[in-house]
Structure 1
């Protein structure tokens, strides 16, 4: 069975809530460099930022647009589209903060909230330590940023906090770089209306991502 066929089968098994970034050799190379333990930190960050930008760009394609008409410098009318207002980003600290700049590079004025979740050393249960969102978060479309989905527990807890602030799961688009099938399934089973966008489904996720990106490994 080829990598491509396995990828499509996993997407079918998990459901339409899972969206995989269209695969090409450039993305495969970036994934390979990020996973390679011999990669220097400089190359790691450079390639991670490139992959983040690709995910963010595709994530923006999933948000609602409305038609509009503008006037060109030559006085002609042009029928185009524009973003509908009410989008924001939320990063799950700390690794999710690596994706913030990529989002700002595409949407300069977008508001970004933050949430800090850590696992209890004894029970391994995810616990929320900090959450700061725009006051009207319940009325927004949210790009939830978390690069590595392993068990899915951290994301599930983050979505719970967002729903406690009045946000509906169907208005959450989770942006990630790498995911395990188990992590994606766990999130969707808990919140069937959420959408997950990632570049790869693999049983082993590069959980070293945050440490390598921020230089704390």
Structure 2
């Protein structure tokens, strides 16, 4: 049986997909969290540092409007401020790992919830629960989910947002780690979405695990790994 070909994602890089600069510091952080022998405290600490970088990068993709202020010297500074409302949307449960960093950067930000779980046999996502701001269609959304493998969960979450009137160009998907298969699936269906990620893995294996991978992010972050 011939192994499936990993899709090309070159056309999405730098446009739909923004990969964090692969600095020595970022690779050092990833080295800790990818180590299967890393303790939970180490995993959480180093993951949070990367998540903060991702949140800041995601916020940088939102629209800004001119805003003038006076400096302590009395001079004018031609600055910027966010042009419209913002909310975060967490894909439960792993996405909750990213909420704290968003709240630290944007105190008081509204955060909605979507619960989508993947069937372990069929690998297909199932939507179980949503709780979102009533005016979400008028907001810019940071969609928070650390892992995008096949892209099925992301597509389900985007379907929920689209059905509520959120334009896909108003969504920035803040993602910790992904693979070409997931990028191709999501960007092929939603070409105007922006994705910010810290790592693009080589491929999925036959069990839909990313290689070289990170394991089950949610289980490792919350200490429920089996």
- Compute the TM-score of the two structures, normalised by the length of structure 2: 0.87
1:211 aligns with 2:219: yes
C-alpha contact 2:68 2:78 (8 A) present in aligned 1: yes
Please give the alpha-carbon distance, in whole angstroms, between the structure 1 residues aligned to 2:83 and 2:185: 31
What displacement does 1:22 show? 1.3
What displacement does 1:181 show? 0.8
Please give the alpha-carbon distance, in whole angstroms, between the structure 1 residues aligned to 2:76 and 2:169: 35
Q: Which segment drifts farther, 95-104 or 197-206?
A: 197-206
Please give the alpha-carbon distance, in whole angstroms, between the structure 2 residues aligned to 1:57 and 1:122: 36
Q: How many residues align?
A: 209
Q: Which has the higher helix share?
A: 1
What displacement does 1:103 show? 0.6
Please give the alpha-carbon distance, in whole angstroms, between the structure 1 residues aligned to 2:182 and 2:102: 23
What displacement does 1:84 show? 1.6
What displacement does 1:159 show? 0.4
- 1:1-217 mapped onto 2 (5 Å cutoff): 12-15=10-13, 16-121=15-120, 123-202=122-201, 203=203, 204=211, 205-217=213-225
Please give the alpha-carbon distance, in whole angstroms, between the structure 2 residues aligned to 1:94 and 1:47: 19
Partner SS for 2:196: strand
Please give the alpha-carbon distance, in whole angstroms, between the structure 2 residues aligned to 1:145 and 1:194: 13
Q: Which segment drifts farther, 61-70 or 119-128?
A: 119-128
- Structure 1 runs, 4 residues or longer, greater than 6 Å off: none
Please give the alpha-carbon distance, in whole angstroms, between the structure 2 residues aligned to 1:11 and 1:182: 9
1:6 corresponds to = none
Please give the alpha-carbon distance, in whole angstroms, between the structure 2 residues aligned to 1:197 and 1:122: 29
**What CA deviation, in whole Å up to 9, does each residue of 1:49-88 have, x standing for no partner?**
0000000011111111111111223433222111122111
Please give the alpha-carbon distance, in whole angstroms, between the structure 1 residues aligned to 2:66 and 2:158: 31
What displacement does 1:122 show? 5.2
**What CA deviation, in whole Å up to 9, does each residue of 1:150-179 have, x standing for no partner?**
111111001001111111111111001111
What displacement does 1:208 show? 1.5
**What CA deviation, in whole Å up to 9, does each residue of 1:124-173 have, x standing for no partner?**
32111111111011111111011111111111001001111111111111
Please give the alpha-carbon distance, in whole angstroms, between the structure 2 residues aligned to 1:61 and 1:14: 18
**What CA deviation, in whole Å up to 9, does each residue of 1:172-198 have, x standing for no partner?**
110011111111111111212111110
Unmatched 5+ stretches in structure 2: 1-7, 204-210
- Compute the TM-score of the two structures, normalised by the length of structure 1: 0.91
1:4 corresponds to = none
